[in-house]
Amino acid sequence: MSVGEQSNSASVLGRPDGSAGPPVAGRRSVRRHVIAAAAVTALGGLLFGYDTGVVSGALLFLKNEFGGLSSLQQELVTSLLLIGAMIGAFGAGRVADRIGRRPTILITAVIFVVGVLLAALSPSFWTLIVARVVIGLAVGSASMTVPLYIGELAPPRMRGALVSLNQLAITGGILASYLVDYGLAASANWRLMFGLAVIPAALLFVGILTQAESPHWLIRQGREDEARRVLSRLRESDIDAEVAEVKEVAARRVSRRDLLARGVRPALWVGVLMAIFQQITGINTVIYYAPSLLAGAGLGNGASLLANVVNGVVNVGMTIVAIRLLDRTGRRPLLLAGTAGMVVGMVMTALAFFGGSQLHGATAYVAIAGLLIYTGSFAIGLGPVFWLMIAEIYPLRIRGQAMSVATIANWGANFVVTVSFLTMVDTITPKGSFFLFAVTSVVALVYFAKRVPETKQRSLQEIERDLGPATGDQRAPAAR
């Protein structure tokens, strides 16, 4: 038993004898415990956002370091993190299923600290490259273990909001990185820009020590008493029903081959295609490149950076709106309305560039408004809903691995779009590129309308039963 678990078992029940029994937690105490666990874990999301966002500003100063960086070297600093993230997401799924969610997050926090310090202190370009890959490993791991862990801790009625705290943390991390870049620009201190991430990484390490292991994972390991103790402070009622449900689901024989089994395949497709659509509709071309694009289109550096910060604020603001709505209106209405809004935003941005690749007066406002509508729409729909869905739609026994597959697809698509975007703009112009994203958003919208199920307020086990082999149903459950 780990140190964290010992300290947890003492505080879990509030029963001096530590025995299992009926739930003793009241509604407020449940909220407090669940929100605390989700908030600590969401530090992983903050690091994800910060570490992916920080490089855009840091590059401005980095390119004069180490004897001067070529464009290719700059691209490597940016995009090798994404390759690291693919590997991290791949490894984390297996590790999280084998040793548990909590130790996996602990290891992730250690990797963050090591990578961030290495980046901040790197004596050479190649050390920096290694550091970015190491940080990527942690980002990839965090991007799947955080929603996985929170999804299993949260009571169904709060799950949408809590898992989406992760997306809020990602957007908060991106915004924080923009502000840090902006604040440190005068001193050109790129080392500090990278290094400040050590604070949330250390907080994640310490914070997760105070949290319990996922009850669902514990049940799967046959550690039912521990699971009950954890659940008793995270649920107001229905512990027996939940334990029984998780046990029943876990008892089904599912091997690794079942990841591709007929009954699981629809869910696997939904996750992987949502992952790919989340990226090929262009979000990170805006998140990583908006200032360069706007500056290249004739806006001043100051105006471009300001537009970027406003975009970051809209991203956070609309994510908060999504969190308030997800468990009320459901996932589908937000996903569909948000994706439709992305189409509108991209068409507007493309139209602004209709007269050429330079923006003047009114067209600059149209382009910025288009980008803000696009980001806001992503933030209310596809941004949070993708990460939430992949924490909800997979059978418990393969959940870790299946989330990994979807997460790897997400990082892989992110990598492809990120490394090709600047070339694409050169080849088919900004207008053509934004129209292309409008088209991919339309395709995404049609797919989501046809295939993505509603998962609001249904237990993970119910969703699993809908998608699982027992029903013999090969399609995703009917859209509700």
Q: Which residues in the 297-316 window bind ligand BGC by CB under 6 A?
A: 315
Three-class secondary structure assignment of 423-467: HHHHHHHHHHHHHHHHHHHHHHHHHHHHHCCCCCCCCHHHHHHHH
Bin 340: left if φ > 0, else alpha if -120 < ψ < 50, else beta. alpha
CB nearer ligand BGC, residue 51 or residue 213? 51
Query: Tokens 């390759």 identify what position?
Result: 83
Is 78 a residue that touches ligand BGC (CB under 6 A)? Answer: no
Sign of CA dihedral 242, 37, 208, 12: negative
Is 287 a residue that touches ligand BGC (CB under 6 A)? Answer: yes
**Least distance (Å) from ligand BGC to the CB of residue 245?**
29
CB nearer ligand BGC, residue 375 or residue 433? 375
CB nearer ligand BGC, residue 219 or residue 343? 343
Q: What is the dihedral of CA 405, 286, 199, 201, to 10 degrees?
A: 0
Q: Please give the Cα distance from 162 to 64 (Å, whole number).
A: 42
Long-range contacts of 189-192 (CB under 8 A, 24+ apart): 189/61, 190/58, 190/61, 190/62, 190/65, 191/120, 191/121, 192/120
**Least distance (Å) from ligand BGC to the CB of residue 173?**
9
Which amino acid makes up residue 88? Answer: G
**Least distance (Å) from ligand BGC to the CB of residue 386?**
6
Q: Which residues in the 172-211 window bind ligand BGC by CB under 6 A?
A: 174
Which of 232, 414, 418, 459 touches ligand BGC by CB under 6 A?
A: 414
How many of the chain's residues bind ligand BGC (CB under 6 A)? 14
Rg of the chain taking only CA atoms, in angstroms? 22
Name the 3-class secondary structure at 238.
coil
Q: Please give the Cα distance from 359 to 375 (Å, whole number).
A: 20
Which of 45, 93, 115, 383 touches ligand BGC by CB under 6 A?
A: 383
Contact pattern for ligand BGC over residues 7 through 46, marking x by CB under 6 A: ----------------------------------------
Q: Please give the Cα distance from 402 to 136 (Å, whole number).
A: 20
CB nearer ligand BGC, residue 170 or residue 272? 170
CB nearer ligand BGC, residue 214 or residue 414? 414
Name the DSSP class of 257.
Answer: G
Closest residue to ligand BGC: CB criterion:
383
Stretch of 170-178, 198-206, 221-229, 447-455 lying at the interface with ligand BGC (CB under 6 A): 170-178
Is 283 a residue that touches ligand BGC (CB under 6 A)? Answer: yes
How many residues are listed for the chain in this entry?
480
CB nearer ligand BGC, residue 387 or residue 435? 387
Contact pattern for ligand BGC over residues 49 through 68, marking x by CB under 6 A: ---x----------------
* Residues that bind ligand BGC in the complex, under the rule CB under 6 A: 52, 167, 170-171, 174, 278, 283-284, 287, 315, 383, 387, 410, 414
